[in-house]
Copies of this chain bind each other. A is one copy, B any other.
Amino acid sequence: MSIGFRIDATSKQVRAGRLHTAHGEIETPVFMPVGTAATVKGVSQDILEDLGVQILLGNTYHLYLRPGVETVRRLGGLHGFMAWPRAILTDSGGFQVFSLNELRKVSEEGVTFRSHLDGSSHFFSPESSMAAQIGLGADIIMAFDECTEYPADRARTKASMELTLRWAERSKRYFEEHKGEVPWSFQELVPSTQYPEKSTASAQGIARASDRVLGTGYSAQSLFGIVQGGMDLELRKESALRTVEIGFPGYAIGGLSVGEPRECTREMIEATLEHLPADKPRYVMGVGTPEEIALYAALGVDMMDCVLPTRAARHGLLFTSEGKISIKQARYAQDAGPLDPKCGCRVCQRYSRAYLRHLYASNEVLAQVLNTLHNLSFYLDTMRRVRHSIRLGEVPYSF
Contacts and interface: CB of A to CB of B under 8 A. Distances in A.
A150 interface: no
Interface string A343-375: 000100011101100110110111011100000
Contacts of A370: 44
Interface in A311-338: 333-334, 336
Contacts of A83: 350-352, 355
Contact of A336 (B75, B336, B350): B75
A354 B44 contact: no
A321 B139 CA distance: 37
A45 B334 contact: no
A206 interface: no
Contacts of A352: 75, 81, 83
A68 to B, nearest CB: 9
A43 interface: yes
- As for how many copies of this chain the complex holds, the number is 2
Interface in A70-105: 71, 74-75, 80-83
Contacts of A42: 365-366, 369
A381 interface: no
Contacts of A351: 83
B75 A354 contact: yes
B359 A39 contact: yes
Contacts of A358: 37-38, 66-67, 71, 81
A45 B350 CA distance: 9
Contact of A364 (B41, B361, B364, B366): B41
B67 A333 contact: yes
A41 B365 CA distance: 6
A44 B75 contact: no
Contacts of A39: 359, 364, 366
A181 interface: no
Given A67-B333, A83-B350, A354-B71, A44 B366 contact: yes
B44 A361 contact: no
Q: Which of A350, A351, A365, A368 has the most CB of B within 10 A?
A: A365
Contacts of A394: none
A169 interface: no
A69 to B, nearest CB: 13
A286 B137 CA distance: 47
Nearest to A335: B75
Contact of A334 (B38, B71, B80): B71
A270 interface: no
Nearest to A352: B75
Nearest to A367: B39
A275 B66 CA distance: 57
| Among all A-B residue pairs, the 10 with the closest Cβ atoms | A42-B365, A67-B358, A39-B366, A83-B350, A37-B362, A39-B364, A83-B351, A41-B365, A75-B354, A75-B336
Interface of A: 37-39, 41-46, 66-67, 71, 74-75, 80-83, 333-334, 336, 346, 350-352, 354-355, 358-359, 361-362, 364-366, 368-370
